Structure 1
Amino acid sequence: MTVQTRLDLADQREGADLAAFLGRLLRFDRAAAVRLQAVPGPDGGVLAVFGRLPLGGSAVLAVRTVRLAGLDAAADLTVSAGQLLESVDEPGAGLGLPAPVTGPSWAGLLPPRSGWQPIGRPPVDRVVHEVQGAVAEFKHRVAGMPDHHRTRQAVDAVADEIWSRPLGAVAGLPLRAAHAAHTIGFLRAGGPLAAYRAGAWLRLDAPAGSVALRTAAAPGAGLGLSPLR
């Protein structure tokens, strides 16, 4: 059996977007790994790339999908984000599949593919406004801490308190989901947003990608985020 080691993309612009996504993940963790799931389809197939945003004491999963020009068979593997970025062709027309790596623990627990129920369609401008206001509050509160109290634990506690708050634009979705989407570059002016729930999982979809997280009631939750800037 021949194992496919290269994927051709249906649109080279999506290759450039994928490279930007991987670059942002590597800003947070130079040793980041991503889980890849490629599924054949009538129009060539789809590749989903899952990455972990290690912001603050915990994390949120970011998901970027790209359309494929063709796919021999389904693929599911975890690889180095840096090696995958290096494999993206300069024109963005294709990418190589690096050798698999031992997956981090988060890669074994991904959001479900089905069973999602809609919980809201927030206006992107309102969501961005809320996130920017929360970032400003975070900066103000951290700047006001005495130097000897400004520990990583104290900063993460402030971040977790802020990002655990509900997003005003969507009942049931925490601010941390919107902040993660904003930080990874998924929130774009005029782009439609949609929020969903499936069991313990929450998801926020934007045209450029999705973020997913588990609720505090679920094992492995507590996904607090610290703003980058």
Structure 2
Amino acid sequence: MTVLHLADEGEAADLAAFLSRLLHYDRSAAVRLQAAGTALAVFGRPPSFEVLAIRAVRLAKPYEDGLAVTLDVTVSAGELLESVDESAATAAVPGAVTGPPWAGVLPPRSGWRAEPGLPRPDALRAEVGAAVAEFRGRTAELAPELRTRAELDRIGREIWSRTVGQTPLPVRAAHAAQSLRFLRPGEPVALLSSGPWLRLRTPYGSIAVRRAGLGALGVSVR
């Protein structure tokens, strides 16, 4: 069994917290792991937001016992969480699972450039808060016979598909970043683009989403 040696207990705790948040939205969540050298990228897709969440984890060494220097596998998020040993700063990689469709289509590894127009972190968090309040207020005002799943989804699509500031980033991406605790007070945030992909990057993780209307152009299928 492949054992990942994480850089320290903090990295192990952060990985466990990220997996727990993904499982909060989907108890059967899968994650794709990609590692090379001492860097591990963990990709997940919380279904409520229709985005890719990416958590970077530092490794103390690639793998134990001289195993391969690269790793690329899709596994159960729950099984991976159960294998995390925070005190030892290790995680055992579970057996591979049949990956969901999103796991075969990931953002590119390079070619990212900065996008202008993103609000400051506090303004970005305030924009997310206002969108959440609007959604709650509008749904609460619905008459009981109109409070259907279709109507709730319609209101949600209208609000979360709006763009942030002077950027093409949908509000749902910033909402996902805040819900997964990537977006935190006082911490920097940047918006990057590569082909059809947009990436909201923070020190705690990234949210990636494809821009509407650009199809699969430039997508990395691995």
Q: Distance in 2 between matches of 1:189 and 1:92?
A: 30
* Residues in 2 aligned to 1:146 and 1:20: alpha-carbon distance in whole angstroms: 38
1:114 counterpart SS class: coil
Distance 1:157-1:132 versus aligned 2 partners, 3 A rule:
same
d(CA) in 2 for partners of 1:182 and 1:92? 29
TM-score, structure 2 as length reference: 0.91
Partner of 1:89: 85
Aligned counterpart, 1:15: 12
Task: Give the deviation of 1:12 after TM superposition.
Answer: 1.6
Q: In angstroms, what is the RMSD of aligned CA positions?
A: 1.4
- The list of structure 1 runs, each at least 4 consecutive aligned residues, that deviate by more than 3 angstroms after superposition, is none
Aligned equivalent of 2:150:
153
Q: Is 1:205 the counterpart of 2:208 in the alignment? A: no
Question: Which amino acid counterpart does residue 183 of structure 1 have in structure 2?
Answer: S
Structure 2 gaps of 5+ residues are: 63-67, 217-222
Q: Which residue of 2 aligns with 1:131?
A: 128
Give, in whole Å, the separation in 2 of the partners of 1:148 and 1:218.
38
The 5-angstrom pairing of residues 211-222 of structure 1 reads 211-219=207-215
- Structure 2 CA distance for aligned equivalents of residues 173 and 114 of structure 1: 19
1:84-143, CA deviations, whole angstroms, 9 ceiling, x for partnerless residues? 000100326110000000000010001111111100354211110000001000000111
Q: Which residue of 2 aligns with 1:187?
A: 183
In 1, distance between residues paired with 2:184 and 2:123?
12
- Equivalent positions of 1:1-229 (< 5 A) are 5-40=2-37, 45-55=38-48, 59-71=50-62, 72-91=68-87, 93-120=89-116, 122-168=119-165, 170-219=166-215
Q: How far apart in 2 are the matches of 1:83 and 1:126?
A: 37
Q: CA deviation at 1:218?
A: 3.2
Please state whether the residue corresponding to 2:45 is helix, strand or coil: strand
TM-score of the aligned structures, taking structure 1 as reference length: 0.88
